[in-house]
Amino acid sequence: MADHDLPRRGLVLAAAALGAGGAGYPPPSPIDSGRVENGRVQFPDWRAPADPPGGAAPQPRPPGERIGFAVVGLGRISLEEVLPAFAECKEARPVALVSGSPEKAQVVAAQHGIPDTAVHGYGEFERLRENPAVQAVYIALPNAMHREFTERAAAIGLHVLCEKPMANSLADCQAMTAACERAGVRLMIAYRSQYQPHHRATIALIRSGELGRLRFIEAANTQANGPGPQWRYNRQMAGGGALPDIGLYCLNAARYLTGEEPVEAFATTYSPAGDARFAEVEESIAFQLRFPSGVIANALSSYGTYENRSLRLHFERGSIEMPHAFAYQGQRLVVQRRVGEVGAEEERIIKPKNQFAQEIDHFATCVRDGRRPHTPGEEGVQDQALMEALYRSAKEGKPMRLEPPPGPTRGSDPA
């Protein structure tokens, strides 16, 4: 045996001794060592009943059994959020890249262990079908490009996870849904907040009736945008300004929190005179939605104010505050209500999870199991119809009566 093998052999022998109880060491108890059941490692809870139970050990699939994704578009959201999220995924992995920047794509591929042969330009997109590792695409392109690449993916048999907003027009959204249906592939819109643990807990709290009936929703998603040119200031590429980019989170939240579709919408938009950034798209929008149950949602979104991503819900017997509700991280769930003779505030501590990883893994399981995603194309179609109604309201200065969608817009709840 070579000298350099001695340290490794010592570690192996020590590990074996510990696992067997080793000389001078007691054998590990079942509560410490756990057990294997059905190919999974399980641990009994080691905490006392007074403490919350510990979480289950992660159970990722072996890399070769995960759904392989091609990430299409290497802008900020791909590099800062989507690709890092794959490191926390248990059901999915990145196996290919599609980008208009070969230099950038080569750097990113090396960072994520993707071979050069799996890196393609937009014109070579159809080469993805030659790679058996690719089963789905994550489309993270400017809004105007979503329809084209969804249809191209469907045509070569790849499932599609597409960033929100779904597209720039209702016709485009409907065409995307139809293309995937004809091709027999799954289509999901990346409404990350619907997979985020604090939002899932809030939905459960509303449905439980613990605080009585929900009466009002206040939602804000604002940020201070920088100088142009940016594709977000271009109507052809973005389809609009603050509403489809960040106001959509408020709109979609009002729908999934109530579990209803609005029957009336009213909106006002504003853009500062002389600011070239907002010559084509709105800087700010305020809108109101009225729901069949009587819930009223008030929302505002802006590219021109300090960052605020908050949500507040008002019930008969209490309220919920969610600071940073629509942020990438930092969500909180604070419940306010009467306890005895006084008002009380309680923060419910929920273990954070990467919302991008949660949505990617959900879609991967839907692809594997042949299930309809929780946020399928129909969810994006409905939001686009509502955004177009809000723009009409702002233009005409009056409320818009709304028709319900022709069918359910969501699949089964995520696990």
Q: Which residues are catalytic?
A: 164, 249
The two tokens of residue 290 are: 């009225």
User: Taken in order 277, 326, 60, 203, is the CA torsion positive or negative?
Assistant: negative
Query: Residues 358, 414, 288, 206: what is their CA dihedral angle, to the nearest 10 degrees?
Result: -120
- Of 347, 386, 372, the C-alpha closest to 173 is 386
Per the DSSP assignment, residues forming a β-bridge with 319 are: 314, 336
- Of 314, 313, 336, 332, the C-alpha closest to 323 is 332
Q: How does 58-68 read in b/e, with b if 16+ C-beta sit within 10 Å?
A: eeebeeeebbb
Number of H helices, E strands in the chain: 13, 18
**Are the beta carbons of 168 and 239 closer than 8 angstroms?**
yes
**Distance (Å, rounded) from C-alpha 163 to C-alpha 188?**
9
Kindly state the DSSP code that residue 137 receives in the 8-state scheme. Answer: E
- Of 179, 183, 297, 308, the C-alpha closest to 242 is 308
Beta pairing, strands 296-302 & 214-224: parallel
Residue whose token pair is 């939002």: 199
The secondary structure element, H or E, covering residue 398 is: none
